[in-house]
Amino acid sequence: MRSPIAALPGALLLLAACAEPEGPPPALALVCADETPFEAGRVERVAHLTVPPEIAPWDLKGSTRQVFEGPEGEPALRLNAKNNRRVRIPGRFAAGAFDRVAVRGAFRATHELFLSLLDAEGHEFRAPAARPDTSGGVQTILFDVPGLDRAGRVYDTLELRVRGPGGAFELHAVDLWRRPLATRLPGAGEPPARVLIGAQSRLARGLSTRSARVAELDVVAGHVLAFDVGQPAGLHDPGNALVLTVEVGAGGEVLREEVPLVAEDGRAVPWRAVRLDLGALAGERASVRVALRPASGDGEGLAALTTPTAYRPVADAPTVLLVTSDTHRADHLGSAGVVEVDTPNLDALAARGVRFEDCWSATNITAPSHASLLTALHPREHRLLDNLSRLTDDATTLAERFREAGYRTFAAVSVNMLGPDGAGLDQGFERTFAPETSTVDAEDTIAALAGWLPDAEGQPLFAWLHLYDAHYPYEPPAAFDRRYYPGGEDPFDPSRPAVDAPRTAMPQGLWELRDLEFPAAQYRAEVSYLDDALGGLLARPRFRSGIVAVTADHGEILASERQMYFNHAELYPETLHVPLILAWPGAPAGERVATPLDHLGLGRTLLDLAGLEQVEFPGRNLLDEPRDAGDRPRFALAAHGFSASVTYGRWHFALHLRSHTDSLPRKRVRHEVELYDREADPACVRDVASEHPEEVRRLRALLVDWLRSAPATGLSRARATTAEERAELAALGYLTDEPEVEETDWIDPDCDCERCLPYR
């Protein structure tokens, strides 16, 4: 009998043979220029505030202070305190005279800076908080205060507050800058920047009322002109409503459309999609003019404009959907038949496609795992090891490759740290949705993605949808709450026996828990909820006829004999084993693949299924995995680089690279090892390292060689975070008390400590 894996390439060849040889016509990005050359104006420094040699009349709050000569030869201030530090600078600060404040000094990466302007009458203008980067040394922190233009006041005090862990910071100078309005977004000849309006961002340039944007286009039959326009909150002036006008003309005929950028109540509208059917101008060379004007008067204004493109809609445009369900265990699918959980929509997807039964993640933490899914690089390579770092622009993402191939690229994520201000996973996505607060439910994220689908009608689409519902805390919506837990029972009833679990190994919200089954049941309810929320999206014709993959970033330990509860610490089957369902037109319906694999090759697989085999991207097509792939080791690297593991045949081996106690009942010691026999102990509960020293020696050498072969540098950097974001991450279990380190070598192969020497 032919194996399921062996049958899949044949199905792919049949699908490719039936496909159109050239695919849909690509969209044409218009090369736009300013209609009339204009000078945007000069960026001007209007004030340079330096530290007075005697401090006075500056008002300081801090335990110790010192004036010293700064690196520029001017007086500088060092202020020390246990927590909050404050500097008040008197002066005349007129609204409209400046729109950017540059604070130069030396700050810790964990500090958060606040800037306010005060007057004697108690009025206060607060700028959004700013954060230092993690480069260390002297840096300039920028506060953009465009809304100050409309404050109409003269303030007499500039206040700078530094919040964060105790210690000193240095203040060297404060500069006030005035930037012309047209310079606050990229111009026609500059690369687009990511512009955020509400919870949605786009890659866009600025369009000013001072000059229209023009281009020329050879119109072909079916062409539609498309772009998005919006006004960020900092640029919106309720007293100066704007209207966007688009005109396309040829042979004396002009197509025209006007789009107001303000709602009837005076508030700025969200991003607006502009579409203009050019069918009447087919065969002509047309001129395109996009202009911005005030609804009344002659005030200056600025809006964000995505690159105008012309495309020809096609029926059944290719669609690729990647769904990542955060913290979703592989056994929590109805079709897996392991636990009682209803997932009819995911089961239906598996019934018309392929379910991979033994797929493992490369790590146990959200941002690093998604970075691996979207780059096909192991955390060992990209070195993004926590949720406080981000990918650098040097990384190449799956979205970038799809976009280069002519696809629209949309991303909707349910947790802020995966958005544009987080891990840098928005690279290549022209549109992103990320919650303004910490997290949102599946329905909100799905609604954001579904709302964009009409804008991609008739165009190839790659979409990434991330759902966070299965992550702790397990708090399903009312319709699913306690679906799997007996009604009327109180799992926190103090009269019931206490759970035999150390508090350090239990989330704080469960410290008074009396029944371990309750959070496990609520976890199942969350899985059923997200499945229900997905149903409408997966039923859309576009996705039923497209390529759909559903997987997870990592799993979850619900409760175990090793006394770990409701987290995903460490590298065990519960944290690494994830679901993977893949459906596409012509897939061998209902196939189950038992071959052991990891999901680093998922991006390559999606590209190949989309007919983009020639597109350069790392990874191995999962459908090409041979039946004997079980002989290939699967490596994983834990959050923060705490541990590494290899699963090879019947054995699962872990090596702790650093001492740590994170969410564990006991401390793991540097270079300690663990070994589990998966045949005798599938849950990997009983450590048999002392009974099989030769296996430990063999697998340790294999793992150390793998670690040592990693590239010397990665593709990530630390990012600054606010106190609120760190508190949210801590509440979600993503911060550790262990010191962060920048690894250069994971482990010294010649280490002669007492835990390494026996296995050298």
Cα–Cα distance measured from residue 568 to residue 553, given in angstroms and rounded to the nearest whole number: 11
Task: Name the strand (E) or helix (H) holding 375.
Answer: helix 366-375
The confidence band for 24, taking pLDDT boundaries of 50, 70 and 90, is low
Q: Compute, in degrees rounded to 10, the torsion defined by CA atoms 569, 572, 575, 578.
A: 170
Torsion of CA 75, 81, 85, 87, to 10 degrees: -30
Burial (0-12, 13-18, 19+ Cβ within 10 Å), 637:
buried
Closest by CA position to 86, among listed 184, 169, 193: 169
Strands (E), 326-467: 354-356, 359-360, 389-391, 408-412, 431-433, 461-467
CA distance 181 to 235: 9
Phi, psi of 548 (to 5 degrees): -130, 130
Provide the pLDDT confidence category of residue 728 given band limits of 50, 70 and 90: low
* Residue entry with tokens 């500039």: 158
Angle at 494 (CA atoms; ends 489, 497), nearest 5 degrees: 90
pLDDT band at residue 436 under the 50/70/90 scheme: confident
Instruction: Report helix angle 517-538 to 344-351, nearest 10.
Output: 60
Dihedral over Cα of 663, 664, 669, 675: its sign: negative
Residue 445 pLDDT exceeds 80:
yes
Interacting residues of 154 by C-beta distance below 8 A, sequence separation 6+: 92, 93, 94, 95, 119
Compare 475 and 760 and report the one with higher pLDDT: 475
CA atoms within 13 A on the CB side of 760: 12
Q: Are 90 and 154 in contact (CB under 8 A)?
A: no
Helix axes 602-609, 366-375, angle to 10 degrees: 40
CA–CA separation, 177 and 48 (whole Å): 9
pLDDT score recorded for residue 41: 78
Structure tokens at 311: 């495309």
Token pair for residue 151? Answer: 């404050």
**Locate tokens 């913290």: which residue?**
327
Q: Which amino acid is at 577?
A: H
CA 647 – CA 642 distance, rounded (Å): 17
pLDDT digits (tens, 9 = 90+) for 450-468: 999 999 999 999 999 999 9
User: What average pLDDT does the structure give for the chain?
Assistant: 88
**Would you say residue 9 has pLDDT above 80?**
no
pLDDT in tens, 503-528: 888 898 999 999 999 999 999 999 99
- List the single range of 20-29, 342-351, 474-483 with lowest mean pLDDT: 20-29
Kindly report, residue by residue over 200-237, the tens digit of the pLDDT. Answer: 999 999 999 999 999 999 999 999 999 999 998 878 77
DSSP-derived pairing of the beta strands 285-294 and 213-218:
antiparallel
**Residues 6 or more apart in contact with residue 356 via CB below 8 angstroms:** 580, 581, 582, 593, 595, 597, 622
pLDDT at 745: 75
When pLDDT is averaged across residues 606-634 and rounded to a whole number, the result is 88
User: Which carries the bigger pLDDT value, residue 96 or residue 620?
Assistant: 620
Q: Output the CA–CA distances (angstroms, integers) from residue 107 to 132, 135, 720, in the order listed.
A: 7, 10, 11
For the stretch 117-166, pLDDT in tens is 999 888 898 888 887 876 667 889 999 887 676 667 899 999 999 887 76
More confident residue, 388 or 471: 471
pLDDT at residue 357 in the model: 95
Can you tell me the distance from the alpha carbon of 758 to that of 403, in angstroms, rounded to the nearest whole number? 52
**Identity (one letter) of the amino acid at 206?**
G
pLDDT value for 630: 60
The dihedrals phi and psi of 360, each to the nearest 5 degrees, come to -120, 150
Residue 543: CA count within 13 A, CB half-sphere:
24
Distance of CA 400 to the CA centre of its chain: 15
Query: 482 in the Ramachandran plot: left (φ > 0), alpha (ψ -120 to 50) or beta?
Result: left
User: Where is pLDDT greater, at 80 or 195?
Assistant: 195
Relative to beta strand 213-218, strand 302-305 is unpaired
| Residues 356 and 363 sit within 8 Å (Cβ to Cβ) | no
- 4-8, 428-432, 476-480: which has the minimum mean pLDDT? 4-8
Q: Is the pLDDT of residue 5 over 80?
A: no
> Quick one: pLDDT at residue 689?
95
What is the percent of the chain with per-residue pLDDT over 70, rounded to a whole number? 90
Helices (H) and strands (E) in the chain, counts: 12, 40
CB 61 within 8 A of CB 31: no
491 Cβ neighbours under 8 A, 6+ residues apart: 485, 513, 514, 515, 517, 518
Burial annotation 147-165 (CB, 10 A radius, 16+ → b, else e): bbbebeeebebbbbbbbbe
| pLDDT confidence of residue 743 | 46
Q: Is the pLDDT of residue 579 over 60?
A: yes
**Tokens found for residue 56:** 């006075």
What is the tens place of the pLDDT at every residue in 342-392?
Answer: 999 999 999 999 999 999 999 999 999 999 999 999 999 999 998 888 898
Name the amino acid, one letter, at 512: E
CA-to-CA distance for 597 and 634, rounded, in angstroms? Answer: 7
Q: What number of residues does the chain have?
A: 760
* Residue 236 exposed, middle or buried by CB count within 10 Å (0-12, 13-18, 19+): buried
In sign, the C-alpha dihedral spanning 53, 54, 55, 61 is: positive
Contact (CB, 8 A) for 662 and 736: yes
- Mean pLDDT value of segment 267-272: 82
Nearest to 280 by CA among 311, 248, 312, 257: 248
Indicate left, alpha or beta for 233 from its phi (over 0: left) and psi (-120 to 50: alpha): alpha
Residue 692: pLDDT above 60?
Answer: yes
d(CA 25, CA 693): 61
Q: Which residues contact 623 (CB under 8 A, 6 or more apart)?
A: 5, 8, 9, 12, 354, 605, 608
Q: Cβ(109)–Cβ(725) under 8 Å?
A: no
Q: What is the pLDDT of residues 538-560, one digit of tens each?
A: 999 999 999 999 999 999 999 88
Name the phi and psi angles at 451, rounded to 5: -65, -20
- Contact assessment for residue 588 and residue 623, using Cβ atoms and an 8 Å cutoff: no
Domains defined for the chain, CATH in brackets:
4-22+317-731 (3.40.720.10), 28-39+182-311 (2.60.120), 44-179 (2.60.120.260)
Residue 65's pLDDT is what?
83
In the predicted structure, residue 14 carries a pLDDT above the cut 50: no
Confidence check: pLDDT of 749 > 70: yes
The closest of 367, 389, 378, 321 to 618, measured between CA atoms, is 378
* Rounded Cα distance, 412 and 431, in Å: 8
Contact indicator for 582, 548 with CB cutoff of 8 Å: yes
Quickly count: other Cβ atoms within 10 Å of residue 319's Cβ.
Answer: 24
Pairing type for strands 547-551 and 580-583 reads antiparallel
